[in-house]
Structure 1
Amino acid sequence: MFDPKKLEQIAKQIHESMPQPVKELGKDVEQKVRQVIQNQLGKLDMVNREEFDVQTQVLLRTRQKLNDLEKKLAELESKLVDKA
């Protein structure tokens, strides 16, 4: 779901901003930072762009159907009032 290259870039930036003694711990710290970021991002209630686009299209179709049904209902109500 998340671009591994972006996660790696963020982890590397965090690692580079750490004090020198912490940096000297090496790849282990960078790997732990990446793991923590992935875990935290995984807890977020998010969808990927593809799923978002699909749901947007579903919503647009549903809205159009609702508009059509509202028009039909208004026509039927109008006919009912005219007959009364």
Structure 2
Amino acid sequence: MKPLVDLTGKRGLVIGIANAQSIAAGCAQAFHDCGARLAATYLNGKAEPLVAPVAETLGVEWLAACDVRVPGELEALFERVKSE
């Protein structure tokens, strides 16, 4: 099926993938299917083993832990986004 939008050459950051069934994973799949290059976050080290295989199938270029409730983590994430 042809994607509704062409995101070829675009980059996206998907925040909060929890597992293969999470809404964020579905969004990441849709962006990937439309041609976007992706980076993604997960909550913490406990979630990483569930998220890493999902990210790999989507060709996510880099993964980072990010808990938006922790002061400074979101800011640090955006600094990484700027640099990469």
What's the TM-score once normalised by structure 2's chain length? 0.26
What's the TM-score once normalised by structure 1's chain length? 0.26
- Select the structure of larger CA radius of gyration: 1
Compare the two structures and name the one with the higher helix fraction: 1
